[in-house]
Chain A
Amino acid sequence: MPSLAESFNEVMAVEGVRVAALVDIATGMIVRSAGEPAGDFPAAAASMAGEARAARTMLGPGRTGGGDLDEIAVATSGRLLLSTVLSPRFGEGLLLFVDLDRARVNMALASLQIGRLAAGILA
């Protein structure tokens, strides 16, 4: 079967992408990754999984104006972290967690491109 790492090739080809990873929302575990993660990447991934859990609790279905969580974007002066929610047939979901070079990307375009590719990651 094709590996997740192979599926990451397209994500890694998006302009500005430094690292891509699949993160288990329930545990913060990095399931697979591509690129060269910096030392803080596992902590950032676990933190993002925690954010996703918290966002679901506070903004999920049943909350006023709430709904299914689609994406979390965090931007610093140097980095753009995009986390797109994937919904496999088990568990609490996965994040396609992508670390981009802020100076090289248009935030809206990057979000659109990665969102389109995310759908095929679990296929």
Chain B
Amino acid sequence: MVCAVSGTSGVLRITGDPGGTIHLADGLVTAVETTGAPGPEVLLLRSRRVTESRWDAAFAAAAARGRPLSAELVAREMVGAGELEALLLTAMADAIFVLASGTVDEYRAEPGPSDGGLALEPGADPAGLLAEASRRIKVLMSVPSPPADRRERLVAAPGAVRPGVRLGAGQDEILALADGRRTTRDLAFALGRGVYATTLRLAEMHAAGLLVPASASTASRSARQAGRPAARARQESGDELPRRKGLTGRAVLPRRASAARTPRGLLRPRSNRDDNPG
């Protein structure tokens, strides 16, 4: 983000997990692309309130007329101007959160004109986006059962889905999609929601006993098939005390905040984080 602060235009390519590209104009962030979070196109199309065919038509028309896609979408009344601004800002904040939560192996600044596709004009203040990412990370660290591993796969708990009973507030859709194969990221893409918002919903549903880690579900099923819950057997025999569980179902210790999880560690290369913890 150094070049953003200095007011340059261009792209910042970040290599890592998940990595991505930050588009800048005059030091402001106009778009962020990463495979780790759904972009504005996915968020809009998944809402089913904008069809793919209308989107494709707008995209082709914008290209033919040489005008921004954002202007074309608004002109076609596919989205309101204020609505689009809110969409771009929330999508951008989610992408920065994902990048900040991941790892950065290296980054490369490429000054020059930037084509960020569906871009926010004027862009967003990078400091504000980083502050929002920091706030989100702090919130997740305070949630009693945070998804410790974003690659964890969740599945509906036994009895969570009951015929004819709707839980509402989007929980039924999540239960239907949480098949034990989808990660939080996968669910976010499937739902057309941000990764942070999805993570919060999953944590709430896990705390409410509606979702369980697929690994725990499999272990539980295996134990039941064996005739006796293995964990209970170990506890009853005194071999093991009950331990606090993370969302992964694995026993976890209270974690010391690592550099990668602190605001100061945001978007710093992994090597730097390791060298200068905290």
Interface positions of A (Cβ within 8 A of B): 1-4, 7, 22, 24, 26-29, 31-32, 42, 46, 53, 56-57, 60-63, 88-92, 94, 121-123
Contacts and interface: CB of A to CB of B under 8 A. Distances in A.
Contacts of B74: 1
Interface in B75-92: 79-87, 89-90
B197 A92 contact: yes
Given A90-B43, A91-B90, A26 B169 contact: no
Interface in B173-229: 192-194, 196-197, 200
Contact of B44 (A31, A62, A90, A123): A90
Interface string B131-142: 010011001000
- List the 7 shortest-distance A-B pairs measured between CB atoms, nearest first: A26-B197, A1-B81, A122-B83, A89-B49, A122-B82, A57-B169, A122-B80
B248 interface: no
A92 B170 contact: yes
B194 A123 contact: no
B193 A92 contact: yes
B7 to A, nearest CB: 20
Given A1-B85, A4-B82, A123-B81, A26 B194 contact: yes
Given A91-B193, A91-B197, A1 B168 contact: no
A2 B90 contact: no
Contacts of A7: 82
A22 B70 contact: no
A89 B197 contact: no
Interface of B: 40, 43-44, 47, 49-50, 70-71, 74, 79-87, 89-90, 93-94, 121, 132, 135-136, 139, 166, 168-171, 192-194, 196-197, 200
B135 A42 contact: yes
B79 A89 contact: yes
B200 A27 contact: yes
Nearest to A88: B83
A53 B83 CA distance: 20
A10 to B, nearest CB: 12
Nearest to A121: B82
Given A7-B82, A27-B200, A1 B71 contact: yes
A29 B132 contact: yes
B126 to A, nearest CB: 15
A62 B200 CA distance: 22
A57 B196 contact: no
Nearest to B197: A26
Given A26-B194, A90-B40, 18 more contacts: A7-B82, A24-B90, A27-B94, A27-B196, A27-B197, A27-B200, A28-B139, A31-B86, A32-B85, A62-B168, A63-B168, A88-B80, A90-B43, A90-B90, A91-B197, A94-B86, A122-B83, A123-B82
Contacts of B135: 42, 46
Nearest to A43: B135
A31 B128 CA distance: 10
Contacts of A92: 170, 193, 197
